[in-house]
Structure 1
Amino acid sequence: MTGAHWAETAQDAEFRQEVRTFVEERFPACYRPDPEAENSLEPEDVWGYDWPADRRSPDPERRAGAVAWAAALAEQGWIAPHLPAAYGGAGLSPVQEFVLREEMMRAEVPTVNGIGAMLLAPTLMEFGTEEQRRAHLPGIACGRTAWAQAFSEPDAGSDLAALRTTAVRAPAGPAGPEAYRVTGQKVWTSSAQYADWLFVLVRTEPDAPRHQGITFLLVDAASDGVTIRPIEDMRGATPFAEIHFDDVRVPVTQRVGEENQGWYVAMAALGFERAGIGAPVKFEQVLKRLVSQLRSAEGQGLVRADTAVLRHEIARRYVEVRAHYAVARLTAAGHGAGAVPGYEASVGQLLGAELHQRLAHTGARAFGPYAQLWQRSTAPMAAAFAHMRFDAVAATLLGGTTEIQRRLIATRGLGLPRS
């Protein structure tokens, strides 16, 4: 990447303080983390919060807190801060947005409408029509509509180009305007059960080469023929769902980009997803807590690893966290210089996924058998590393497997041949 300079300016530092003051003054006191909740698997989510679920919580206090926090951020244009003010954003630069996200993560307050704001909103700005922007961006920017990304399928997860959900063009008629009739299944869709809208990849030309013949559609989750079923993971949580489309009618006006060119739209969206700051800040925080625990009298009595070896391992984790942060900051600076997130975002995704697993094992190794305790009330660090080990299992699969990321880095970043 060329032309990217990411030293913090005086203006950036002033904005950082503005964000800190805003969070201290405006975060609702009633919106507290749920100590028994499993961590969301989305990198930008904060422990104890799940905003898409919280906004529909049966607990009136939690629901009110989620709604109030969205309203406070929307006043500043900070739900989708990169958007122009005309669409409900604040027109922040990529570096300012990076600072905003970083400070929210450090304050351990939740982002709002993460998938819609961080993935779909910039995608619509780049590929959407003006009609689509005006129809969907204000709802994202005020927290009125939540979105889910429906890409993966039972036989098309890592190999996304193998997707088989079909969309057949139907002419205008008594049933409505010209539309696509969508049939198929999606799986592992994060927070789909709480979404108002879905952005979906479908195959519109079955005989085209694998990466062609794919189209990007916006689908109302309440449409006739859409069925969403939560999937329980091995922790007992339901962070994602499967979606069935049974001849669902989607107006052609809800297509983003050209027909059969949806692969390129989707790759841009995934680039925005992989370029975030959430993971390195979360890893830094948990590493600091581990060190603090190990230095305490209680922690010293629980350690079951060789102290010298453990110190060396923790030092390695700290260096890796800082490298991960640097890549995220560099990617934001490059975006600010006009670059679309590319292979650098895949570097960040790869670093974060593998670091997640190594950090989980480091914490578990430190506490030995105590790290197997699952109940938060009776375990060191509230069983953080026992739960983190379960969370980390999926880290090298979510958002593209490590094999896929390495291939992208090799071909797009290093210019190596595909075979």
Structure 2
Amino acid sequence: MNWDDTPQQAAFREEVRAFVREKFPAGYKPARDEEQSLEPEDVAGYNWPVDRVSEDPVRRDGARAWARALAERGWIAPHWPSEFGGAGLSPMEEFILHEEMMRARVPTVNGIGAFLLGPTLLVHGTDEQKATHLPPIARGEATWAQGFSEPGSGSDLASLRTRAVRDGDVYVVDGQKVWTSLGQYADWLFVLVRTDPDAEPRHRGITFLLVEADAPGVTIRPITDLRGAAPFCEIFFDGVRVPVANRVGEENRGWYVAMTALGFERAGIGATIKYEQALAGLVAYLRSRDGARFARADADLRREIARRHTEIRVLYNLARYTVSRQATGEEPGYEASVNQLFGAELHQRLARTGARAFGRYADLWERDDAPMNAYWTHMVRDSVASTFLGGTTEIQRNVIATRGLNLPR
């Protein structure tokens, strides 16, 4: 396959690079010690949903200024129609935009609202829901979190128990969600609830609701991870009254809306560039004078680094393949699971390779005076969650087997 840019794509790539150089706020710099997110698509040192409400005025103003600059071009939600604040970019142009932002190490804006919820509303939402929710997302004024997983209902999502009972023109919601990424910073939640407890099969009794994060009866508690950061939370619903107008799709048919949402996974270019830059940084450090003091680069380690480099190129090609299918109007199916599985396991292998280079120095957690500011020590901790974040490896293999290879269940 030929992944070279067409002349039009090359011109757009240069346009993106110039935009970043000219418009990215000079004071909005990466925070070395901030680790609120686990997502491999995020740029190290930035976490836009957190930064936009930071107590540091320089960081807060920088995050908001960057959102305004992107919004003026429709580049927060670049693939959306212009009537809702998007730019109507093609899948390949969106891919190039995200790739160049990652290469420039500047953050994307409005994550899950822009790339999951928004496209779902474009398919299943009412005209009122689109008009109400899409423009604030595209302007960087409203952030969203996904309320799907529950205690005991993660990979087996159809077993969820959060209950919604209709009372006139509202649903009364009771239950709990957990592992909600950045939910404590969200303005809105999109939530799966059970509206028919007797439905068989179970997924037929589920409804998709839009819930204000500060609605009466909603309690959000951050969860601290093994790094001491809080990238996710648990959410409790106690008699929360949600207007029926906030239901997306039909009652008891929310499972199909949710599957639409999960189909809008990113192609994976962000993780690819992040890993590529990390490995290049490791090689440069090992060749430096400082690296010679701490690290060891024996023949086995060199071969391991070469394997990681090859695997990163494979991941890049998987991402390009996925977006090339989208560009021809096809809907990616099991390819998203291939990307997720390969990228998650690569994250862990890459982290181990980097840590191996430093031997016992890789045990240093504090960044000051540690080689490469303990980057690889922290990546090892980050990578632990990769093989169940966004779907366990077992689930991904099942999807690949049944949808990709047509094997029996």
Fold similarity call, TM over 0.5: yes
Alpha-carbon separation, structure 2, partners of 1:404 and 1:102:
28
Report the counterpart of residue 289 of structure 1 in structure 2: 281
Report the counterpart of residue 310 of structure 2 in structure 1: 319
1:347-373: CA deviations, max 9, x gaps? 101111101100000001111111111
Instruction: Point out the more displaced range, 256-265 or 101-110.
Output: 256-265
Report the counterpart of residue 73 of structure 2 in structure 1: 76
Report the counterpart of residue 376 of structure 2 in structure 1: 385
**Amino acid aligned to 1:295:** R
2:63 to 63, 66, 69: 66
Instruction: Point out the more displaced range, 232-241 or 289-298.
Output: 289-298
- Give the structure-2-normalised TM-score: 0.97
Residue 331 (structure 2) pairs with residue 340 (structure 1)? yes
Q: Are 1:274 and 1:399, in contact at CA under 8 Å, matched by a contact in 2?
A: no
1:145 to 108, 117, 142: 142
Residue 233 (structure 2) pairs with residue 267 (structure 1)? no
Give the 3-state SS of the residue equivalent to 1:389 in structure 2: helix
Percent identity between matched residues is 67
**Amino acid aligned to 1:294:** L
Alpha-carbon separation, structure 2, partners of 1:417 and 1:257:
31
1:114 to 111, 114, 117: 111
Residue 125 (structure 2) pairs with residue 133 (structure 1)? no
Residue 407 (structure 2) pairs with residue 410 (structure 1)? no
1:40 to 37, 40, 44: 37
Give the 3-state SS of the residue equivalent to 2:161 in structure 1: coil
1:1-43: CA deviations, max 9, x gaps? xxx9854211111111100100010000111111111262123
Counterparts of 1:139-288 in structure 2 under 5 Å? 139-171=136-168, 178-208=169-199, 209-288=201-280
Q: Are 2:129 and 2:246, in contact at CA under 8 Å, matched by a contact in 1?
A: yes
1:106-130: CA deviations, max 9, x gaps? 1111111011011111111122122
Alpha-carbon separation, structure 2, partners of 1:221 and 1:304:
49
Shift, 1:260, TM fit = 1.7
Q: Are 2:144 and 2:187, in contact at CA under 8 Å, matched by a contact in 1?
A: yes
Report the counterpart of residue 91 of structure 2 in structure 1: 94
Q: Are 1:280 and 1:324, in contact at CA under 8 Å, matched by a contact in 2?
A: yes
Instruction: Point out the more displaced range, 162-171 or 357-366.
Output: 162-171
Shift, 1:135, TM fit = 0.8
Give the 3-state SS of the residue equivalent to 2:189 in structure 1: strand
Shift, 1:274, TM fit = 4.9
Instruction: Point out the more displaced range, 98-107 or 288-297.
Output: 288-297
Q: Are 2:84 and 2:135, in contact at CA under 8 Å, matched by a contact in 1?
A: yes
Q: Are 1:39 and 1:48, in contact at CA under 8 Å, matched by a contact in 2?
A: no
Shift, 1:210, TM fit = 2.3
Q: Are 1:44 and 1:114, in contact at CA under 8 Å, matched by a contact in 2?
A: no
**Amino acid aligned to 1:120:** L
**Amino acid aligned to 2:91:** P
Report the counterpart of residue 9 of structure 2 in structure 1: 12
1:330 to 321, 325, 344: 321
Shift, 1:380, TM fit = 1.4
Alpha-carbon separation, structure 1, partners of 2:181 and 2:360:
32
Alpha-carbon separation, structure 2, partners of 1:182 and 1:56:
28
Give the 3-state SS of the residue equivalent to 2:122 in structure 1: helix
Residue 350 (structure 2) pairs with residue 353 (structure 1)? no
1:228-286: CA deviations, max 9, x gaps? 11111111111111100111111112111222222222122222235332111111110
1:198-220: CA deviations, max 9, x gaps? 01111111112122211111111
Q: Are 1:81 and 1:97, in contact at CA under 8 Å, matched by a contact in 2?
A: yes
Report the counterpart of residue 174 of structure 1 in structure 2: none
Q: Which runs of 5+ in 1 are unaligned?
A: 172-177
Shift, 1:303, TM fit = 2.5
Q: Are 2:276 and 2:309, in contact at CA under 8 Å, matched by a contact in 1?
A: yes
**Amino acid aligned to 2:355:** A
Report the counterpart of residue 175 of structure 1 in structure 2: none
1:184-208: CA deviations, max 9, x gaps? 0001101111100001111111112
Instruction: Point out the more displaced range, 256-265 or 223-232.
Output: 256-265
Q: Are 2:187 and 2:212, in contact at CA under 8 Å, matched by a contact in 1?
A: yes
Alpha-carbon separation, structure 1, partners of 2:395 and 2:300:
33
Q: Are 2:36 and 2:230, in contact at CA under 8 Å, matched by a contact in 1?
A: no
Alpha-carbon separation, structure 2, partners of 1:243 and 1:371:
35
**Amino acid aligned to 1:292:** A
Q: Which runs of 5+ in 2 are unaligned?
A: none
- Cα 1:39–1:185, aligned 2, differ >3 Å: closer, same or farther? closer
Alpha-carbon separation, structure 1, partners of 2:241 and 2:2:
47
**Amino acid aligned to 2:251:** E
Alpha-carbon separation, structure 2, partners of 1:232 and 1:190:
12
Give the 3-state SS of the residue equivalent to 2:385 in structure 1: coil
Alpha-carbon separation, structure 1, partners of 2:381 and 2:391:
18
Report the counterpart of residue 25 of structure 2 in structure 1: 28
**Amino acid aligned to 2:104:** A
